[in-house]
Amino acid sequence: MDGIIPLFKERGMTSHDCVFKCRGIFQTKKVGHSGTLDPNVDGVLPICIGKATKTVNYLMNSGKVYRGEITLGFSTETEDLDGETIEEKDILKPFEADEIDAVMKQMTGTMIQIPPMFSAVKVNGRRLYDYARKGETVERPEREITVTSFIQTKPAEYDTENKRQKIYFEVACGKGTYVRTLAVDLGKELGVPAVMSDLTRLESGGFRIDKAFTLDQLNEAKANGTLESLLYPIDAALTSFKKYELTDEQWAIVKNGGFLAIDSFNDEPMVALVYENKIRCLYRLNSEKNRYQSETMFDLG
């Protein structure tokens, strides 16, 4: 079987746990996911099966949408509720909606973000969380991220007893964005410690959460013999590329990894090439050599 399953990852599981279980369900080792979700986060996690594993990078490059909650008044070492509290400050006066909105708006667009110490980013061949767990410090690499929108989804709530305030948000962002770091940075802009206290991924790779299947549903479909019908085709991961139908002559060239004429595809930087109603490969424009050449081959059968 080849294709993509929008999986609903439940809380308490790692993304690797999901891959491991899907290997058993689909009875293949060729399984990959398109963007890690922390164990305490649930939501849609596209899982690629068989030949579709070649589309993982393209799915990861697509935008993601999250909905969650930020708590103002304390912060943790992990930037979420899994870590130890490192700072506390009473919110004596709740922030007004327009004040929060203004900060959120200025946190959209392209910006530089420093990933949290408790993350899987590698520095000198080691994951940052390896350094963090051993109490070691290391300079973290800056990365450019894009936040398309960052908005409140309902009025913030103020806890008069604990002197804390909860902000409910939705964010649309690009590859590599740490939403828990956004939560912490929002607090910094407001002048108070903050933590991401809840998060669900609503969309990833073009798949919405309402189209996602649980592991229980996959197991049920397997038992009923309908598992393959749940798979989305490889094409679903490549919607951002313009499609071109190949002639029989072009297909013969492509099957052997050959080059295509530079005037074949209207100077598109990357094209999805279709033969017999399937996307077979991606070809990219090489302007220096005046040709289109193979980028990724998916299905030559």
Identified catalytic residue from 2, 17, 38, 101: 38
Other Cβ atoms less than 10 A from the Cβ of 141: the count is 11
CA–CA–CA angle 16, 21, 22 (5° rounding): 95
Looking up tokens 């943790």 gives 76
For the question of residue 2 being annotated catalytic, the response is no
Q: Which residues pair with 46 in a beta bridge?
A: 6
CB 18 within 8 A of CB 243: no
Residue 168, SS3 per DSSP: strand
Distances (CA, A) of 110 to 106, 113, 146, 174, 219: 10, 10, 4, 10, 41
> 226 φ, ψ to 5°?
-115, 15
Contact between 65 and 202 under an 8 Å Cβ cutoff? The reply is yes
Task: Give the residue numbers annotated as catalytic, written as ranges.
Answer: 38
